Amino acid sequence: MTTESEGDRITQPWGARTPYRRGDVWPLRVDMELADGVHEADVDRWVPSASVLHSNGDAFDIAVRDGRIVGVRGRGGDRVNRGRLDPKDLFGWQATAAQDRLTTPLIRVEGRLRPCDWDTAMDRIVSRTRELLDAHGPESISFYTSGQLFLEEYYTLAVIARGGIGTNHLDGNTRLCTATAAESLKQSFGCDGQPGSYTDIDHADVIALYGHNVAETQGVLWSRMLDRLAGPQPPALICVDPRPTPVAQHATVHLAPLPGTNVVVMNALLHELIANDWIDGDYISAHTVGFDDLAAAVSDWTPQRAAEVCGIDADDLRRAAHLLGTAEHLVSTVLQGFYQSHQATAAAVQVNNIHLLRGMLGRPGCGVLQMNGQPTAQNTRECGADGDIAGFRNWANEKHIAELARLWNVDTDRLSHDGPPTDAMQMIRLAETGDLRMLWISATNPVVSLPQLERIRRIFVQDNLFVIVQDIFPTETTELADVVLPAAAWGEKTGTFTNADRTVHISEQAVQPPGMAKSDLEIFLDFARRMDLRDRDDAPLPPWHDPESAFRAWQQCGAGRPCDYRGISYQRLRDGGIQWPCPPDRPDGTERLYQDGRFYAAPDYCENYGKDLVSGDPWDEDRYRDFNPDGKAMIKPAPYQPPPEAPSPEYPLALITGRTIYHFHTRTKTGRTPQLQQAAPEVWVEISAADAKAADIDDSDLVRITTPRGSIVARARRTEIRPGVIFVPFHYGYWDTSGNEHDRAANELTRTEWDPASKQPLFKTAAARIELTESDDHR
Ligand SMILES: Nc1nc2c(c(=O)[nH]1)N[C@H]1C(S)=C(S)[C@@H](COP(=O)(O)OP(=O)(O)OC[C@H]3O[C@@H](n4cnc5c(=O)[nH]c(N)nc54)[C@H](O)[C@@H]3O)O[C@H]1N2
Ligand SMILES: Nc1nc2c(c(=O)[nH]1)N[C@H]1C(S)=C(S)[C@@H](COP(=O)(O)OP(=O)(O)OC[C@H]3O[C@@H](n4cnc5c(=O)[nH]c(N)nc54)[C@H](O)[C@@H]3O)O[C@H]1N2
Ligand SMILES: [Mo]
């Protein structure tokens, strides 16, 4: 075992290599970071937890000394990270102790936010909720939550919103994040739930990454890949990304398509698999429906034709297809370069199709990871705190609705289900039109993260919209709120959450929250009690009172569903992560789904009845039963459609947005972490040498970037990005932690536009122009 203390993990984000060979167990490497002057022996207590700064689920213990968090140490025994930590894991814990935490509730009085006590803030919320329920009914009330709370908190909120208040307007920022992951899994396999496992990396001979910069966004998973690359029998890597990411730099084949043309890349790869007969006919006929339609749909997509549309080399496409077609153990990962780009669900489903055509599922080394991004996004989805309903149930299946009503002991008609649960983009639209009058935001910062910010600000300040924001810091969004509620952060509360490969971890309270801050669970339960929400027998709804009792209620809700947690307990989680499904007769959990070629797709069991991938029109039960009576995996093709906003003479560049390894989202935590903030203090724009030259721009010049929605100023950074494309990280809001304002938020530029099937916004498809700017005054 190597123990890595510090080193320079800012310049060496992935640490030292521990090479291993195919089929071996990934070696241990325990990483640790402690506050200056603190040694391992000085630590009073180690409290089990996992990272909340990405979806990887890196497990570690929090070091506590004198009632304060003083560091973290990776858990060598955990299946996910085998002790490793990435830079945000190593340093990010410092943020919760920042001086400017929210410590009291705030209410708006004569235009200004003023501190108050909990009774005053909650009374204001409860009286407004009651007024709105009386005057306009439950559909005037909405909740916009997160992918960063705990399972217990989402389940509680779902019961309150859907079973207590009776509104259909509950979604998470997971809509911006993994709505397409969930939708693509439902479309192909009938239900959400990651087929693959991280251990598949240990066995793969080809790893294909589609729009996924894993090196910067799940650094420990990338370390696993780097260690395979450094060992004997390294896997081949395929990278589909317009930028020269670290993944692209290590790739055997790098395809850099024009943004918005992913479906064409995929159709050409599928064309080649079929044309060369690199498919598993037995698997296809035994376990799938829909192959003939796919074969017809891709028959014209020769590499030559696709290469012209995507602006790439046809031979590169052929080389990638050859690797995919001849792999014996293929792992694919998909993330925002597909999910936030044009034809998101359509493209993500084609990755599933490759695995179905090749029969590469449910065996070691054969897995799809339709990745998550946020640490607890999987739980938002499974608890039904997003546009799904709890336990991956089907809102259009009366029996599923009746099951939920029974579990929650409420009348079936309390659960609004005339249409699909409202998605976040539609909720914002309803707020804009005035139909929605209360928006309760928890653990998300939409005034930086939603597209077209000028519009979002305009909507949030409307007089007839009552905005509640529950956060741990003041943000661009709390600034516009009517009531602000101070929440306890990670490390200050207990709960469980599930990573991108279905591994559940526990995170226990290590220290006290500051001031009057309370956990999100306590806040939601307090609201339910003050509203006097009741079930059919007049008992309080929800009936639980703390994290563990909420967890036990959730176990009942997930019983018999894929997200079955019955074999998991807080006590067992203290020893390390466990993968669901974990029914009582399989207490060690389940490494891979679909090992037996059986899917969660039976018409009576599936999570939805499917959709048209292009228009998003939902199918009804009859159509689903016709297409897939036996609940097999579904192969669905998608025709290409050109992106909605292509470069033009006025806006000649394709603008994409995304992340850097050092920051998390709107930087409320990483901007308050000295090492991380120093590593990436300001916004920049990546531009190719050719485009920079054409616009007379040098490295680190200040430039103005303009789209039809707005403009921002950033420093130019010349890279090997594909010419015609520019990239802006979206981390920098118009505020900084000192309260200064800047002209720099990427979402001033993005469009109000979404994928019709998953309703995920297109943060990676817009046209822009760029020019030198003289102004340095906003720095
Ligand atoms: N350091 C860090 N890690 C994080 C996060 C963070 O903020 N910071 N956030 C977490 C969350 S919530 C998420 S969702 C994940 C996101 O993780 P990723 O999806 O890996 O990150 P992004 O940078 O958003 O986008 C990935 C890549 O998509 C490429 N791309 C853009 N447009 C297209 C396109 O049209 N086609 C293709 N093929 N590629 C395209 C971009 O060049 C970019 O490199 O990261 C998680 N981990
Ligand atoms: N242009 C562009 N826009 C994007 C993206 C992109 O790639 N490009 N990516 C999208 C994606 S994938 C995502 S996930 C979103 C992320 O967007 P957001 O969710 O808006 O970003 P965060 O900064 O993570 O906001 C989380 C908020 O919750 C607070 N918080 C943290 N912990 C707690 C807690 O325990 N309780 C409470 N109550 N609050 C807490 C934090 O302080 C912070 O204000 O952005 C989306 N927007
Ligand atoms: Mo995300």
Per residue in 236-273, pLDDT tens?
Answer: 999 999 999 999 999 999 999 999 999 999 999 999 99
Are the C-beta atoms of residues 146 and 172 closer than 8 Å to each other? yes
Which tens digit of pLDDT belongs to each residue from 324-339? Answer: 999 999 999 999 999 9
Alpha helices in 276-391 (DSSP H): 281-287, 291-298, 303-310, 314-326, 336-339, 344-357, 377-382
- Map residue 97 onto helix, strand or coil: helix
- Tokens linked to 638: 């998608």
Q: What is the dihedral of CA 685, 689, 692, 696, to 10 degrees?
A: 140
The 3-state secondary structure of 141-195 reads EEEEECCCCCHHHHHHHHHHHHHHHCCCCEEEHHHHCCHHHHHHHHHHHCCCCCC
Using the mean position of ligand 1's atoms as its centre, give its distance from the Cα of residue 198 in Å: 19
Alpha-carbon distance of 48 to 751, in angstroms, equals 41
Q: For residue 456, give the H/E element and its range.
A: helix 453-460
Q: How confident is the model at residue 738 (pLDDT cuts 50, 70, 90)?
A: confident
Alpha-carbon distance of 454 to 435, in angstroms, equals 20
Using the mean position of ligand 2's atoms as its centre, give its distance from the Cα of residue 549 in Å: 28
Alpha-carbon distance of 543 to 554, in angstroms, equals 12
Using the mean position of ligand 3's atoms as its centre, give its distance from the Cα of residue 406 in Å: 33
Q: Whose CA is nearest to atom 3 of ligand 2?
A: 449
Question: At residue 350, does pLDDT exceed 60?
Answer: yes
Cis ω before 603 (30° cut-off from 0): no
Q: CA angle 599-613-173, nearest 5°?
A: 85
- What length does the chain have? 779
Question: At residue 83, does pLDDT exceed 80?
Answer: yes
CA nearest neighbour of 203 among 181, 241, 240, 231: 231
Using the mean position of ligand 1's atoms as its centre, give its distance from the Cα of residue 50 in Å: 21
Which tens digit of pLDDT belongs to each residue from 598-619? Answer: 999 999 999 999 999 999 999 9
Mean pLDDT, range 280-305, rounded to an integer: 98
Q: Which distant-in-sequence residues (6+ apart) come within 8 Å of 643 by Cβ?
A: 259, 260, 261, 342, 765
Local structure of residue 761 (DSSP, 8 states): B
Are the C-beta atoms of residues 664 and 677 closer than 8 Å to each other? no
Query: Does the beta carbon of 449 sit less than 6 angstroms from any atom of ligand 2?
Result: yes
Ligand 1: which atom is nearest the Cα of residue 177? 14
pLDDT at 758: 98
pLDDT at 3: 45
Using the mean position of ligand 2's atoms as its centre, give its distance from the Cα of residue 665 in Å: 5
Query: Does the beta carbon of 217 sit less than 6 angstroms from any atom of ligand 2?
Result: no
Using the mean position of ligand 2's atoms as its centre, give its distance from the Cα of residue 443 in Å: 7
Choose the residue to mutate in 243, 485, 668, 765 for probing ligand 2, maximizing ligand atoms within 8 Å of C-beta.
Answer: 668
Q: Among the bound ligands, name the one nearest to the CA of residue 746.
A: 2
Choose the residue to mutate in 225, 241, 722 for probing ligand 1, maximizing ligand atoms within 8 Å of C-beta.
Answer: 241
In DSSP terms, 438 is beta-bridged to 141, 466
Ligand 1: which atom is nearest the Cα of residue 335? 19
DSSP 352-372: HHHHHHTT-SSBTTBEEEE--
Local structure of residue 670 (DSSP, 8 states): G
Q: Which distant-in-sequence residues (6+ apart) come within 8 Å of 37 by Cβ?
A: none
CA nearest neighbour of 769 among 749, 742, 744: 749
Q: Which distant-in-sequence residues (6+ apart) come within 8 Å of 356 by Cβ?
A: 188, 283, 284, 287, 288, 633, 635
Using the mean position of ligand 2's atoms as its centre, give its distance from the Cα of residue 333 in Å: 22
Using the mean position of ligand 2's atoms as its centre, give its distance from the Cα of residue 459 in Å: 19
Using the mean position of ligand 1's atoms as its centre, give its distance from the Cα of residue 655 in Å: 14
pLDDT at 545: 98
Choose the residue to mutate in 14, 91, 177, 213 for probing ligand 1, maximizing ligand atoms within 8 Å of C-beta.
Answer: 213
Choose the residue to mutate in 445, 452, 484 for probing ligand 2, maximizing ligand atoms within 8 Å of C-beta.
Answer: 445
Alpha-carbon distance of 140 to 694, in angstroms, equals 51
Ligand 1: which atom is nearest the Cα of residue 178? 14
Query: Does the beta carbon of 445 sit less than 6 angstroms from any atom of ligand 2?
Result: yes
Of the chain, the percentage scoring pLDDT greater than 90 comes to 96
DSSP 394-443: -TT-HHHHHHHHHHHT--GGGS--SSSPPPHHHHHHHHHHTS--EEEEES
Mean pLDDT, range 317-329, rounded to an integer: 98
Question: At residue 521, does pLDDT exceed 70?
Answer: yes
pLDDT at 740: 81
Give Dmax (Cα) for the chain.
73
Are the C-beta atoms of residues 175 and 203 closer than 8 Å to each other? no
- Ligand 1 first shell, C-beta below 6 A: 54-55, 88, 177, 211-213, 216-217, 240-243, 245, 257, 259-260, 262, 335-337, 341, 373-374, 656, 658-659, 661, 663-665, 727, 764
Ligand 1: which atom is nearest the Cα of residue 260? 35
Choose the residue to mutate in 89, 223, 261, 659 for probing ligand 1, maximizing ligand atoms within 8 Å of C-beta.
Answer: 659
Ligand 1: which atom is nearest the Cα of residue 265? 38
Strand segments (E) across 429-529: 438-442, 466-471, 483-486, 495-498, 503-507
Task: Dihedral sign for Cα 687, 691, 692, 695, please.
Answer: negative
Mean pLDDT, range 276-292, rounded to an integer: 98
Alpha-carbon distance of 334 to 345, in angstroms, equals 11
Query: Does the beta carbon of 750 sit less than 6 angstroms from any atom of ligand 2?
Result: yes
Are the C-beta atoms of residues 450 and 746 closer than 8 Å to each other? no
Question: At residue 777, does pLDDT exceed 70?
Answer: no
Using the mean position of ligand 2's atoms as its centre, give its distance from the Cα of residue 99 in Å: 20
pLDDT at 6: 47
Task: Dihedral sign for Cα 343, 344, 348, 349, please.
Answer: negative
Q: Which distant-in-sequence residues (6+ apart) come within 8 Å of 4 by Cβ?
A: 15, 16, 29, 30, 31, 32
Cis ω before 581 (30° cut-off from 0): yes
Q: How many CB atoms lie within 10 A of CB 297?
A: 17
Q: How confident is the model at residue 417 (pLDDT cuts 50, 70, 90)?
A: confident
Token pair 């439902």: residue: 186
Give the chain's mean pLDDT. 96
Q: Flag whether the pTM goes above 0.85.
A: yes
Q: How many CB atoms lie within 10 A of CB 701?
A: 18
Q: For residue 221, give the H/E element and its range.
A: helix 219-230
What b/e string do you get for 380-410 counting C-beta neighbours within 10 Å, with b at 16 or more? bbbbbbbbbbbbbbbbbbeebbebbbebbeb
Ligand 1: which atom is nearest the Cα of residue 731? 7
- Map residue 201 onto helix, strand or coil: helix
Q: Whose CA is nearest to atom 23 of ligand 1?
A: 658
Token pair 């339910």: residue: 528
Alpha-carbon distance of 607 to 595, in angstroms, equals 20
Are the C-beta atoms of residues 449 and 666 closer than 8 Å to each other? yes
Mean pLDDT, range 488-516, rounded to an integer: 98
Q: How confident is the model at residue 7 (pLDDT cuts 50, 70, 90)?
A: low
Q: How confident is the model at residue 2 (pLDDT cuts 50, 70, 90)?
A: very low
pLDDT at 739: 74
Question: At residue 775, does pLDDT exceed 80?
Answer: no
